[in-house]
Amino acid sequence: MVDALLSASRVFVGLAARSLGDAGEEVTLAQYRTLVVLASLGPQTVASLADALAVTPPTATRMCDRLVAKGLVRRRHERTDRRVVRITLAPAGRRLVDEVTVRRRAELASLLAGMPGSTMTALVDALGSFSAAAGAVPDQDWSAGWEL
């Protein structure tokens, strides 16, 4: 099982790299992952973003500095407590996540087209269970209604 997942993860990393490379932005996979976390969880403090990314707060701060410089995220002070700063997706960051997601969906659909239906049903069930165990947020729940 572990070997099968490692093999599949290599396929997914390659697909992610190709999808991101086609976007025309100078964004690393780690930076893109930060954008995806913000898209899925909504605005975050640096500490909560660091926790979600499993990195240290200084690493998350440097990542945010780079993404702010690229115009992909923004820092916003809380209205009720100006000491609290939240990191939010900028419109350009949201567009990038959406564009890369469209590319990934298209490539995945192409790969799945060659699989028999019974295999796809089992794959959907297995990957759904795997994603739930990992605590993944479903696509349809990504930042619906949040002010970006």
In a domain, 118, yes or no: yes
Tens digits of per-residue pLDDT, 47-56?
999 999 999 9
In a domain, 3, yes or no: no
Question: Which pLDDT score is estimated for 139?
Answer: 56
Q: What is the CATH number of the domain that holds 68?
A: 1.10.10.10
**How many domains would you assign to the chain?**
1
In a domain, 119, yes or no: yes
The one-letter amino acid at 39: A
3-state SS class at 88: strand
Question: Which pLDDT score is estimated for 145?
Answer: 39
Q: What is the four-CA torsion angle of 141, 43, 67, 96, rounded to 10 degrees?
A: 20
**Distance separating alpha carbons of residues 116 and 108, to the nearest angstrom:** 14
In a domain, 38, yes or no: yes
Radius of gyration (C-alpha) of the chain in whole angstroms: 17
In a domain, 30, yes or no: yes
In a domain, 6, yes or no: no
Q: Is the pLDDT of residue 74 over 90?
A: yes
In a domain, 84, yes or no: yes
**Distance separating alpha carbons of residues 75 and 146, to the nearest angstrom:** 15
Mean pLDDT of 97-125: 88
In a domain, 117, yes or no: yes
Confidence of residue 142 (pLDDT cuts 50, 70, 90): very low
Domain hosting 64: range is 14-129
